[in-house]
């Protein structure tokens, strides 16, 4: 049995007829490693963005029809946690790459924008002047 939902949690409620509706039908991976259906993911993310960030989130899945088996409930919980954990790691990696790219570009810009320290000019008599 999973932990009870905290009283102050923002509840994101999803209604489906079958658990497989939550997952991408094109993904051939085992149930636990499958990607969420893009529509389900968008729905969950949209609700989570509107939620108070100081409050925990709780995903509540309502199944039409039969009562889910305990192993299905556990598999769903693990699959959703795994999906969003992988998504968070990917986002952190992308952000790190962007920061690294930004630092490189900033360094390149700084080198290009460095003030010119000395200018050598040769006049028509071949004399060089340093300014």
User: 118 in a domain, yes or no?
Assistant: no
Other Cβ atoms closer than 10 A to 38? 10
The string of DSSP codes covering 12-38 is EEEEESSGGGGB-TT--S-GGGPPBPH
CA 76 to chain centre: 20
Ordered per-residue pLDDT tens for the chain, 131 residues? 567 888 999 999 999 988 888 888 776 666 666 788 899 999 999 999 989 989 999 999 988 877 878 888 888 888 898 889 998 999 989 888 888 877 767 666 666 655 555 555 555 555 554 44
User: 78 in a domain, yes or no?
Assistant: yes
User: 126 in a domain, yes or no?
Assistant: no
User: 23 in a domain, yes or no?
Assistant: yes
User: 128 in a domain, yes or no?
Assistant: no
Q: How many domains does the chain have?
A: 1
Structural domain containing residue 104: 10-113
Instruction: For the chain, give percent helix, strand, coil, nearest 5.
Output: 50, 15, 35
User: 120 in a domain, yes or no?
Assistant: no
């Amino acid at each position: 049995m999973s932990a009870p939902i905290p009283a102050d949690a923002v509840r994101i409620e999803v209604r489906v007829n079958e658990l497989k509706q939550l997952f991408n039908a094109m993904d051939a991976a085992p149930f636990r490693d499958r990607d969420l259906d893009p529509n389900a993911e968008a729905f969950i993310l949209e609700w989570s963005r509107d939620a108070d960030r100081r409050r925990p989130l709780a995903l509540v899945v309502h199944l039409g029809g039969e009562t889910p088996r305990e192993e299905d409930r556990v598999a769903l919980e693990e699959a959703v946690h795994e999906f969003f954990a992988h998504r968070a790691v990917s986002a952190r990696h992308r952000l790190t790459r962007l920061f690294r790219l930004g630092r490189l570009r900033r360094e390149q810009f700084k080198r290009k924008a460095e003030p010119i320290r000395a200018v050598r000019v040769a006049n028509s008599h071949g004399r060089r002047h340093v300014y």
